[in-house]
A and B are shown apart, each in its own frame.
Chain A
């Protein structure tokens, strides 16, 4: 279960908080989903705005484009494409739709939500991570750095971890025994050989209310079954 790349954070309770760090695969998946979303949104905006601006089935820029063309047709898709990550991450304190789908979120080195400065810095450094093409440098650094971080994460002091609330608890056995009874049961079985028959029966009766066994050996087996499976 413990992985060398997990992030362990000191806590005042004395018990470290352990966050599972995302690897290059999960990061790449989240990035591709985000890339697809921002590309689709940008293209969709351009197509609709160009059709409206040209007043017909024509997507090509006019020979002498006016301010309206740039402000309503060109600038918004460019803004959607290039500002997608910083805007989402700042607005959601470290998440994007792609990261959510991959079950990831951005955290600071102390495990908390990253500040705006950290988020903006990690996004500015995409200029370096995307070098020379297709985020090759960023991908390589996520493969070889300690917490699978890219250069932007190193600059911003951030990393990607798996979101903690994806797991649900299984049906817990042992509904027939409560916590206090389990402690008593544990102590009873530990001291079983040292107790006389009367003491064994008396204490066992407080736990096995419904079916007290007759023989000592049967009683012990019944208690061990209860301790092991939680049912009588």
Chain B
């Protein structure tokens, strides 16, 4: 018997198993869409997987350019995905994220947070010094309308609620803040330089505006406006910068892994912190829309809101709200 005759016989033998493949593919498709608690179904899936693997190996050799191979590769891949799909429960996933993942990311990012905060403070001081020393430089950081308003002895925030309702103001502010936060994180892709730019620019603007309002005797009013929402908003700016810096560092010095793997790990890890930051910015935006521009709130009330929300932020990021400390002390006992 010639080799080709023998191979033809084997091909036919293989193709005769197509009904088995179809039933295995159907089961894999069904299980990829919905979960099952039927043990027999799961066992059959495992048997299907082995059978498909066996036939894929044969079909790759005997029928390399066939529709049968394409079909079988697809069924095998689907069976693989169905079989290796991890268990997932939304409530548990959220609890794990806030109780374990975000606190551990915070510990990992502690040096980055310190550096980002130092950079931010440095640029605030630089912006303040620049405008304090050379007042004309405010034109670099603020719009002509804002400059004209302050020069008239008014803050641009005065009467804000007469122009825009609180709900709209909150929506605009929180959207803008979240975009800036996401941009500070993503800009880390440029080896951290993008993050440095975003942090630096925001710090310079904050310092410059405080110096400018100070020159017109409005810095107390600006502080009164900022304090309720600013504690968390500025902290989140530094946290986003830290996340971006971690992404940049992963690209600059990937360590023992490849640059792509290092980038992926840093992006996924620090991305968890960014999710928490986005949630915090929603609260911050609501405060900025409803409390900060409302003259009915006294300075003491504003400070109380700002400090309380900042403590809430610390508790959220360190997992205290979800029993992280209890869990740790239980583990070490």
Contacts and interface: CB of A to CB of B under 8 A. Distances in A.
A230 to B, nearest CB: 5
A172 interface: yes
Interface residues of A, number: 59
Contacts of A9: 80
A11 B65 contact: no
A186 B6 contact: yes
Of B13, B32, B78, B272, most buried by chain A (CB within 10 Å of CB) is B13
- 9 closest A-B pairs (Cβ-Cβ)? A164-B74, A13-B53, A189-B1, A155-B267, A182-B13, A174-B12, A186-B9, A227-B9, A67-B165
Interface stretch (B123-131, B178-186, B292-300, B315-323): B178-186
Interface of B: 1, 5-6, 8-10, 12-13, 15-18, 21-22, 25, 29, 32, 49-50, 53-54, 56-57, 64-65, 67-71, 73-78, 80-81, 84-86, 93, 165, 167-168, 171, 182-183, 185-187, 189, 247, 260, 263-264, 267-268, 271-272, 274-275
Interface in A154-196: 154-157, 163-170, 172-174, 177-179, 182-183, 185-186, 189-190, 192
A71 interface: yes
A21 interface: no
A1 interface: yes
A118 B13 CA distance: 43
Given A112-B81, A178-B16, A156 B5 contact: no
A154 B50 contact: no
B168 A192 contact: no
B176 to A, nearest CB: 12
Contacts of A107: 81
A131 B274 CA distance: 21
A13 B83 CA distance: 12
Given A107-B81, A165-B74, A120 B275 contact: yes
Nearest to A14: B53
Contacts of A198: none
Contact of A13 (B50, B93, B260): B50
Contacts of A186: 1, 6, 9-10, 13
A190 B10 CA distance: 13
Contact of A70 (B67, B69, B171): B171
B8 A18 contact: no
B15 A173 contact: yes
B74 A124 contact: no
Given A116-B93, A151-B189, A170 B68 contact: yes
A121 B185 CA distance: 11
Given A66-B165, A67-B167, A107-B81, A166 B74 contact: yes
Given A13-B53, A186-B1, A179 B6 contact: no
